[in-house]
């Protein structure tokens, strides 16, 4: 369920970038991301515990809309050039292939994040509580889980991760744009649903699948069809949903109860 | 028994009549009192009424939130442009159109109807696949549909003009034309909601399992309502194009999806009255805020809201309504007369 609610905090964190040394900057940005997410949980989502997933989706869009336009009002609509660690874009040679250093860092960081998340969710007490609260909020509380605290924690985590994504994007492109969250958010939404709501391996697999599919389409489509790549990609998304409506990896909790 | 049944039917029909009266008063007031810019705002509002009522035919009765209706709107808008633009213009800006379309020069009304029908046809095909899904998967699939339409229309250079806009559409949709279509949409929506198919669909909205256990074919009724719903969103698209005179794929993407859903949610998804009130309330609010952004002079001081304040306030209002009144302003009830009260 939480996976649904990653509002476009992406853009938020980036706008506060200053000239701070990296070892300070990274934790500060992650904390800002977490703080914004926790605040939004407190103000909005806490009051919507019993709402349907679709209502939550609409309100998270509304929230994203508010955040985006607040930033627009404060910073103006022009993309900002920010050179964040430009030296990371210098290529290095790995087994004969020249790859920007940043991409290696991104791959390693993603691995670390995914493994940590998996361990956190499956092996620790707080992970167990998180899963319990996601599955049945009231029941979890009755059994002594401090579900509100746990969910706030989940929000903080997702906010921090969104900030991390924002940092990576800014380092890669060198500009911070208020609209940069839009496309990636759409893909993230779709990936979580294709992967199966509430399944971490599903989300990871779906993310890879969408990325791979778009690269493959880009490579193999005839030239005149290439501008329509995204159309083909989203058609595949619909097909995947038709074949596995519950997602590729169905968590046991997703079975509808009658 | 038969007596009460008859009374209930009559009183159900009072809803669209009352709503059309409200729209009529709105249009009349603005035509009499307002200047040209207000009249334009009224036309925009009535186009949104047509769109949102169309959207409601599907979302309100089935309970499945669709993010794809802006796609049907785009299809309708471009179809009307293909049919009504002067052939010389099309030869210049849209060189790859099929000969039939390139030479077409239809009057506006048949073109609007044809646009609605094309949107319906696309809805039939896309819905046949998408509506096999339920719940959140269906909503995401409609999203994917929107993205497909957007990608196609913003890349198909020779047919849609891609991201450079199509210009020169006859600007015929003033407040009275749009009032006519909005009323038609309200009537059709009320007719559908009270038809056998509409009632069956509402039963599936309340409880899918119980409804299918009672022998209701959910898929079929959802498809019927989507086709009808797409007709009016397609027409709304055509009207939209003919009110601005300019078409761009970006006007039919996330922005319009968000604002129309906001209107539906604020007004109340559960009832037709909600759909209409939501549009009127939010449109009037937006217009007021836009005017305030342009600075109001009160005595010596000039008061101006910062740019972007309008969007922020709309977003906040939407969240507040979702939290405080989850069923919307109308609370899922219809505006109706008690005819022959007992």
Summarised one tens digit per residue, pLDDT across range B312-339 is 888 888 888 888 888 888 877 787 776 6
Contact B315 A186 (CB under 8 A): no
Nearest by CB: A58 against B145, B148, B265: B265
On whether the CB atoms of residues B15 and B272 are closer than 8 A, the answer is yes
Chain A: give the shortest CA distance to residue B306, in Å: 7
Residue linked to tokens 């319990």? A132
**CA of B141: which chain A residue's CA is closest?**
A238
**Tokens at A100, concatenated:** 């920007």
pLDDT tens digits, B142-194: 989 998 999 888 888 777 777 777 877 888 888 889 999 999 999 999 999 99
Count other C-beta atoms under 10 Å from residue A57's C-beta.
21
Instruction: Tell me what pLDDT residue A5 has.
Output: 42
Residues whose CB falls within 8 Å of the CB of residue A247, separated by 6 or more in sequence, listed in order: A193, A194, A195, A196, A197, A199, A202, A206, A254, B137
**CA of A65: which chain B residue's CA is closest?**
B315
Contact A245 B147 (CB under 8 A): no
Nearest by CB: A69 against B139, B152, B311: B311
Residues whose CB falls within 8 Å of the CB of residue B25, separated by 6 or more in sequence, listed in order: none
The model's pTM: 0.85
Contacts of B316 in chain A (CB under 8 A): 66
**β partners of residue B298:** B301
Could you list the pLDDT tens digit for every one of the 258 residues in chain A? 343 344 444 444 444 444 445 566 777 777 877 887 788 888 887 777 777 766 777 787 788 778 777 777 776 666 666 666 666 666 666 666 667 777 788 888 888 888 888 888 888 888 888 888 877 778 888 888 888 888 888 888 887 887 777 777 777 776 666 666 666 777 777 887 887 776 778 888 888 888 888 888 888 877 777 778 888 888 888 888 888 877 777 655 555 555
Chain B: give the shortest CA distance to residue A100, in Å: 30
Question: Where is pLDDT greater, at B252 or A163?
Answer: B252
**Tokens at A226, concatenated:** 């290439």
Nearest by CB: A230 against B147, B258, B315: B147
Interface with A, mutate which of B137, B269, B325 (most A CBs under 10 A) = B137
pLDDT tens digits, B286-299: 888 887 777 665 55
Nearest CA among B80, B159, B72, B68 for reference residue B115: B80
Checking if the pLDDT of B132 tops 80, the result is yes
Mean pLDDT, range B105-128, rounded to an integer: 92
**β partners of residue A100:** A91
The verdict on A243 touching B (C-beta cutoff 8 Å) is no
Instruction: Tell me what pLDDT residue B252 has.
Output: 86
Range B190-199, long-range pairs (CB < 8 A, 24+ positions): B190/B12, B190/B13, B190/B15, B190/B16, B190/B272, B191/B16, B192/B57, B192/B61, B192/B225, B192/B228, B193/B57, B193/B60, B193/B61, B193/B272, B194/B9, B194/B12, B194/B13, B197/B221, B197/B224, B197/B225, B198/B61, B198/B225
Question: Where is pLDDT greater, at A33 or B267?
Answer: B267
ipTM of the complex as predicted: 0.79
Mean pLDDT, range B243-269, rounded to an integer: 86
The verdict on B320 touching A (C-beta cutoff 8 Å) is no
3-state secondary structure of B173: coil
Strand ranges for chain A from DSSP E: 80-81, 91-94, 97-100, 175-176
Mean pLDDT (chain B) is 86
3-state secondary structure of B187: helix
**CA of A232: which chain B residue's CA is closest?**
B148
Contacts of B318 in chain A (CB under 8 A): 58-59, 62
The verdict on A83 touching B (C-beta cutoff 8 Å) is no
Provide the sign of the torsion angle of the four alpha carbons B324, B327, B331, B335, taken in this order.
positive
Instruction: Tell me what pLDDT residue A13 has.
Output: 44
Phi, psi (deg, nearest 5) at residue B247: -125, 135
Residues whose CB falls within 8 Å of the CB of residue A98, separated by 6 or more in sequence, listed in order: A91, A92
Chain A: give the shortest CA distance to residue B104, in Å: 27
Contact A54 B265 (CB under 8 A): no
Instruction: Tell me what pLDDT residue A151 has.
Output: 82
**CA of B59: which chain A residue's CA is closest?**
A54
On whether the CB atoms of residues A73 and B306 are closer than 8 A, the answer is yes
Phi, psi (deg, nearest 5) at residue B303: -110, 125
Phi, psi (deg, nearest 5) at residue A94: -125, 120
Phi, psi (deg, nearest 5) at residue B270: -70, -15
**CA of B148: which chain A residue's CA is closest?**
A231
Contact A238 B130 (CB under 8 A): yes
Contacts of A69 in chain B (CB under 8 A): 308, 311-312, 315
Instruction: Tell me what pLDDT residue B298 has.
Output: 59
Chain B: give the shortest CA distance to residue A245, in Å: 6
Interface with B, mutate which of A234, A240, A246, A257 (most B CBs under 10 A) = A234
Nearest CA among B242, B211, B230 for reference residue B109: B242
**Tokens at A174, concatenated:** 């060198």
Residues whose CB falls within 8 Å of the CB of residue A168, separated by 6 or more in sequence, listed in order: A102, A106, A109
3-state secondary structure of A145: coil
Instruction: Tell me what pLDDT residue A32 has.
Output: 77
Contact A190 B143 (CB under 8 A): yes
**Tokens at B130, concatenated:** 């998408």
Chain B: give the shortest CA distance to residue A19, in Å: 28
| Alpha carbons within 13 A on the beta-carbon side of A192 | 15
Instruction: Tell me what pLDDT residue A4 has.
Output: 39
Contact A228 B152 (CB under 8 A): yes
The verdict on B128 touching A (C-beta cutoff 8 Å) is no
Instruction: Tell me what pLDDT residue A8 has.
Output: 43
Phi, psi (deg, nearest 5) at residue B94: -125, 70
Nearest by CB: B258 against A48, A65, A246: A65
């Amino acid at each position: 369920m939480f996976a649904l609610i990653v509002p476009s905090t992406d853009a938020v964190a980036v706008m506060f970038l200053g000239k701070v040394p990296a070892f300070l900057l990274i934790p500060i940005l992650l904390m800002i991301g977490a703080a914004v997410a926790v605040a939004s949980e407190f103000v909005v989502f806490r009051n919507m515990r019993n709402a349907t997933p679709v209502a939550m989706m609409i309100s998270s869009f509304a929230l994203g809309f508010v955040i985006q336009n607040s930033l627009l009002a404060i910073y103006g609509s022009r993309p900002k050039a920010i050179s964040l660690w430009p030296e990371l874009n210098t290529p290095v040679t790995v087994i004969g292939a020249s790859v920007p250093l940043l991409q290696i860092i991104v791959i390693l960081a993603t691995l670390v994040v995914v493994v940590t998340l998996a361990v956190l969710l499956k092996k620790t007490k707080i992970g167990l509580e998180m899963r319990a609260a996601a599955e049945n909020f009231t029941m979890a509380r009755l059994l002594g889980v401090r579900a509100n605290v746990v969910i706030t924690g989940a929000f903080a985590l997702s906010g921090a991760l969104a900030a991390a994504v924002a940092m990576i994007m800014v380092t890669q492109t060198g500009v911070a744009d208020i609209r940069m969250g839009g496309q990636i958010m759409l893909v993230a939404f779709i990936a979580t649903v294709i992967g199966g709501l509430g399944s971490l391996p599903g989300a990871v697999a779906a993310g890879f699948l969408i990325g791979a599919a778009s690269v493959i389409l880009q490579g193999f489509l005839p030239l005149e069809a290439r501008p329509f790549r995204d159309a083909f990609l989203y058609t595949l998304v619909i097909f995947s949903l038709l074949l596995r409506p519950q997602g590729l990896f169905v968590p046991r909790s997703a079975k509808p109860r009658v | 028994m038969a007596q009460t049944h008859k009374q209930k039917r009559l009183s159900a029909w009072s809803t669209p009549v009352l709503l059309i009266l409200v729209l009529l008063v709105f249009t009349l007031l603005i035509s009499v009192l307002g200047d040209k810019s207000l009249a334009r705002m009224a036309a925009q509002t009535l186009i949104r009424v047509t769109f949102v009522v169309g959207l409601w035919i599907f979302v309100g009765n089935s309970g499945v939130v669709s993010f794809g209706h802006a796609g049907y709107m785009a299809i309708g808008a471009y179809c009307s442009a293909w049919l009504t633009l002067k052939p010389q213009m099309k030869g210049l800006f849209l060189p790859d159109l099929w000969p039939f379309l390139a030479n077409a020069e239809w009057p506006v009304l048949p073109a609007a109807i044809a646009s609605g029908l094309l949107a319906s046809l696309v809805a039939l095909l896309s819905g046949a696949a998408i509506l096999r899904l339920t719940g959140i998967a269906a909503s995401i699939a409609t999203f994917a549909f929107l993205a497909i339409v957007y990608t196609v229309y913003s890349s198909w250079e020779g047919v849609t003009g891609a991201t450079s806009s199509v210009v020169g559409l006859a600007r015929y949709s003033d407040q009275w034309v749009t009032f006519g279509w909005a009323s038609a949409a309200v009537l059709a929506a009320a007719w559908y909601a009270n038809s056998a198919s509409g009632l069956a669909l509402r039963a599936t909205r309340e409880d899918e399992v119980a409804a299918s256990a009672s022998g209701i074919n959910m898929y079929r009724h959802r498809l019927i309502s989507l086709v009808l719903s797409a007709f009016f969103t397609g027409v709304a698209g055509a009207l939209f194009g003919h009110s601005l005179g300019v078409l761009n794929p970006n006007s039919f993407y996330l922005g319009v999806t968000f604002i129309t859903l906001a209107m539906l949610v604020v007004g109340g998804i559960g009832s037709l009255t909600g759909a209409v009130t939501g549009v009127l309330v939010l449109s009037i609010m937006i217009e007021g805020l836009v005017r305030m952004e342009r600075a109001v002079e009160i005595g010596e001081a000039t008061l101006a809201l910062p740019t972007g304040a309008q969007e922020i306030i709309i977003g906040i209002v939407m969240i507040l309504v979702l939290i405080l009144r989850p069923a919307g302003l109308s609370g899922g009830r219809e505006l109706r007369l008690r005819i022959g009260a007992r």
